[in-house]
Amino acid sequence: METVVAVEEGEGINQESTSAIVINCSDSSNQIADPVIYKLARVVGDGIYIPATDDEVMKAEDLIDHKSSLHFVLDNSQTTICNSNDDTFGQEFMPIDCEDLLAFEDPSTQGERSDAVVDTTVDLGKLNPRFEEVTQSESTPVDQSGDEKQADLVPRSAESEPSMSTICSSWKPDFSKLKGEICLDNLSVKELHATFKATFGRETSVKDKQWLKRRISMGLSNSCDVSLTTFNIESNEIEKKDKLEDCNNKDENRNKYSFTGHEGGNDGGDNKIPVGQSQTIQMEDHFSGISKSVQSDAPKRHIALEDDNQGNKRVRKPTRRYIEEVSESDSREYSGRPVSSARSSGSGPRTRVRPVHNIQPVSKPLVTRHDSLGGSGVEIPYVSRIRRGRPRENFMSLMKFQPYGMGMTARLVNKAHDGHDPQSDNDIENQELKATPATGWSLQPLIKEPGENEEYSEQSADLNNISDEGQMDSYADVDSDENILTVPTAKGGMRRKHHRPWTLSEVVKLVEGVSRYGAGRWSEIKRIAFATCSHRTSVDLKDKWRNLLRASFAQLPAEKGVQNSKKHSSIPIPAPILLRVRELAEMQSQVSPEVKFDGHSGRNVNDIRSGFL
DNA sequence: TTTAGGG
DNA sequence: CCCTAAA
């Protein structure tokens, strides 16, 4: 059985070809040894499917391998395979990032995975330069898998590596060049007009490009709502030049390093990094999340663009989803905020994990104006031009990521609109993971034709994208803070204000973190693995770990029992994870007091446990 | 501030 | 999750 798990349509002006990644799922019994085979292929315009050469396949495999989790998650058939050797992995498993879980689940997989990571590191090193040439990207050819690398190759070094920070700062300047101005600069007056309109919801007759640019910039910085604006600008960008790819890549590199690089050590003058970083991350996150819908929208978009180019100044109509979400979030804000704030004020001035860059504490109502231009009426979110909040920083960050996220869509923008921390919802996270590959590649079931190998070009760029974005995703699952509303239960009680059910991937991160830094180093783990989660304080981690511990041991007796019963409304934690937890607990001899005494360090968990239970 | 533990 | 004590 073979399935195309990822398809990337050419983003160029003419969609000549489509890159596709085909997964060959051997449904034989040999899955464990050889679970998946990736095949690269290109689909030309007429739909002909051209398999990649072996070389290309190899490269792709390396690159994709550690990303595979996402693909697994996304494709049903993949999921099946993913779970094939472990029944305890139920459907619940699907929606989450099982990259790490896979490791737990199957030792062989783990081995492969680690290897893959190493290989990837090497290969990327090789590939990157070439990629550089192709795209002429300014970004330094850095190790793409730095994140993973730090995670897997330097697992036991508790202290952060200065080198990462160094790298981080070394390439940082690169993107600073990529300001929004540049992109706006490349727009014609006409385009600027369109942008302007999208931004402010009204037309302008001003011909002065400078003025227009400044206006638009201000509008953007002011509103935080770059949704339409950004989109349009980007569209124009795409139309105008193919440069967008560069931007994207740079951005990705940047993201990569934001994770590993931000070690807190040399934060002296780099205050900007965190902000831009998280902003970008959010974008990535959303980007990956919504990429599917974006892609399905692609045709329409192109049409719209054409219209635009023909002087038919049409503004892209906001998607229904966008509108809905904006208003939804707004209403949520209103209902939730007062309670929350009142409560927090009651418990003292202490602010919880409120992100520093939580601009615009109060959400803005979404005002839309009806625009009848271009024949069909469109609702355009109207953004006031009055500046409030901290525009400058805001502006910069916005402009910074503007050119990159062509996949950035409603959801993302919606968040930005809220002025919230760049983060996505918990549930959203899962949904997104399930729904779309982080790569923004859509999953289109194609029937693979066993064809001859053909030349396959321009792979590196795509591959880079894959790895990058996938990489991102593994750590970029973030949550929006502040969806926390008190839910008055029927019983009269008020349910917890902030209660964010732990995501499976979060749990995994936690477990991994503990395995790396040891239980107790919560702040470390928080900084590293949960850098993007503004909620989840170190205390939370600790608590969760405590729970996991409890769960893991409690669940032991019923080991064979499939999963956990559904009695807990929360997500059942896959047995493998619990196993891992127990293992770690044992290793760090932080087990339940009873077992504390074990003299032999290397004792196996199971021995002990079996003795007690 | 961070950890640990009780509520 | 929240709150606190202790380091």
pLDDT averaged per 10 residues, chain A (length 613): 38 35 34 35 44 42 35 29 28 32 32 29 28 32 34 33 31 31 65 70 78 72 37 33 34 32 31 31 29 32 34 44 42 36 33 34 36 34 33 33 30 33 36 31 28 31 32 36 48 58 88 88 90 87 90 68 55 80 75 42 35 35
Tell me the residue length of chain A: 613
Whether CB of A521 is under 7 Å from strand B: the answer is yes
Distance A86 CA to B7 C1' (A): 38
Shortest CA–C1' contact from A539: which nucleotide? Answer: B3
Q: Report the alpha-carbon distance of residue A516 to residue A152 in Å, rounded.
A: 9
Whether CB of A522 is under 7 Å from strand B: the answer is yes
Helix (H) or strand (E) holding A235: helix A227-240
pLDDT reported for residue A525: 92
pLDDT reported for residue A591: 56
Helix (H) or strand (E) holding A380: strand A378-382
Choose among A302, A82, A86, A315: nearest CA to A203: A315
Protein footprint of strand C, defined by Cβ closer than 7 Å to any strand atom: A 347, 352, 496-502, 535-536, 539-540, 543
Shortest CA–C1' contact from A523: which nucleotide? Answer: B2
Residue A106 CB partners (closer than 8 Å, separation 6+): A32, A85, A86
Choose among A436, A504, A500, A552: nearest CA to A91: A504
pLDDT reported for residue A107: 31
Shortest CA–C1' contact from A344: which nucleotide? Answer: C2
Q: Where are the domains of chain A?
A: 2-153, 163-437, 504-612
Structural tokens at position A252: 């990705």
Q: Is A208 left (phi over 0), alpha (psi -120 to 50) or beta?
A: beta
The three-class DSSP label of residue A379 is strand
Whether CB of A418 is under 7 Å from strand B: the answer is no
Strand B positions closer than 7 A to protein CB: 1-7
**Domain A504-612, CATH number (from 3.40.50.720, 1.20.1260.10, 1.10.246.220, 3.40.50.850):** 1.10.246.220
Q: Report the alpha-carbon distance of residue A426 to residue A171 in Å, rounded.
A: 31
Q: Residue A348: is it exposed, middle or buried by C-beta count within 10 angstroms (0-12/13-18/19+)?
A: exposed
Q: Report the alpha-carbon distance of residue A336 to residue A325 in Å, rounded.
A: 16
Whether CB of A361 is under 7 Å from strand B: the answer is no
Whether CB of A542 is under 7 Å from strand B: the answer is yes
Residue A290 in contact with residue A411, Cβ under 8 Å?
yes
Neighbours of A592 (CB within 10 A): 12
Backbone angles phi, psi at A218, to 5 degrees: -65, -40
Shortest CA–C1' contact from A547: which nucleotide? Answer: C1
Q: Report the alpha-carbon distance of residue A38 to residue A35 in Å, rounded.
A: 10
Q: How far, CA to CA in Å, does A554 sit from each of A368, A513, A551, A570, A581?
A: 54, 22, 5, 16, 12
Residue A575 CB partners (closer than 8 Å, separation 6+): A88, A555, A559, A563
Strand C positions closer than 7 A to protein CB: 1-4
Residue A216 in contact with residue A385, Cβ under 8 Å?
no
pLDDT reported for residue A522: 92
Q: What is the DSSP letter of A177?
A: T
